[in-house]
Amino acid sequence: KKFQHPSVKSLHRGQFIWNLANVPLLDQYIYALGQNKYRTVVEQVIEQFKGKVIPKLSSFRDCINHGDINDRNILVDSSSASLENPQYRVSGILDFSDMSYGYYVFEVAIAIMYMMIESPDPLSVGGHVLAGFESVLPLTAEERGALFLLVSGRFAQSLVIAAHTALLYPENKEYLTITAKTGWKHLMTMFEVGQEAVEKAWFETAQAYTHHAPA
């Protein structure tokens, strides 16, 4: 059943810069990157996003997005007494300030992006996140086909907005550019490796889970 609430319309935040549908709005902030190879890749992300993702939004399944599922906003409980082999389960989520109307696939893409930053194997971690999400809600072919650009789009949002905000508030630059420390490297690598190869790694990793699932 769809989420219902008398105030749900307030989450239709049309120009909200952090809504993943609004990657094209980055055009107005891209100046903050200067002129370099990073800007060139972000321009590619924005143009491909406009051409390949925006026209498909109507085919994605809609929902209310938390919009910021990252390691700083996830609470876990230990579900194992073993110190040698600790096991954890998600027990809660913090920070609902970025909630907005969006699509299920946005939540997967945002989680993949943040897990790439934290993972020692960033290019394959997306497959593990995807497997977990699809154990509850399998994506459609259209949603899967948009994942590469959605993850790239979230990297672009984080990096461009951080650069813009750091110009406005230089005293907060260190905090504002936490994601940028490794984010640029991951975004550049994704485009160097290419969509086809990255998707192959994600989808094969996710597929492996279906072969090991208990009967």
Within a domain: 87? no
The DSSP code sequence of 161-201 is: HHHHHHHH-GGGHHHHTTTHHHHHHHHHHHHHH-HHHHHHH
Give the structural domain span for 162: 19-69+99-211
> What would the two tokens of residue 112 be?
């993949």
Q: Is residue 12 in some structural domain? A: no
Tally of structural domains, the chain: 1
Residue 4 lies in a domain: no
d(Cα 115, Cα 103) in Å, to the nearest integer?
A: 19
Mean pLDDT across 28-54 = 96
CA gyration radius, the chain: 18
pLDDT value of residue 215: 44
48 assigned to some structural domain: yes
Summarised one tens digit per residue, pLDDT across range 168-180 is: 888 887 877 777 8
- Residue 49 in any domain: the answer is yes
Could you tell me where the beta strands, DSSP code E, fall in 10-113?
62-65, 74-78, 88-93, 100-103
Q: What are φ and ψ of residue 61, in 5° steps?
A: -80, 130
Residue 74: per-residue pLDDT: 73
Token pair recorded at residue 130: 């995807």
Annotated catalytic residue, options 68, 77, 98, 121: 68
Who's near 177: CB < 8 A, 6+ residues apart?
A: 162, 163, 166
Mean pLDDT over 79-96 rounds to 70
| pLDDT for the residue numbered 176 | 74
DSSP type of residue 18: T
pLDDT at 182 over 70: yes
Please indicate whether residue 95 is annotated as part of the active site: no
Region 113-121 average pLDDT: 90
pLDDT at residue 94, as a whole number: 62
Indicate the pLDDT class of residue 67, thresholds 50, 70 and 90.
Answer: low
Residue 10 pLDDT: 58
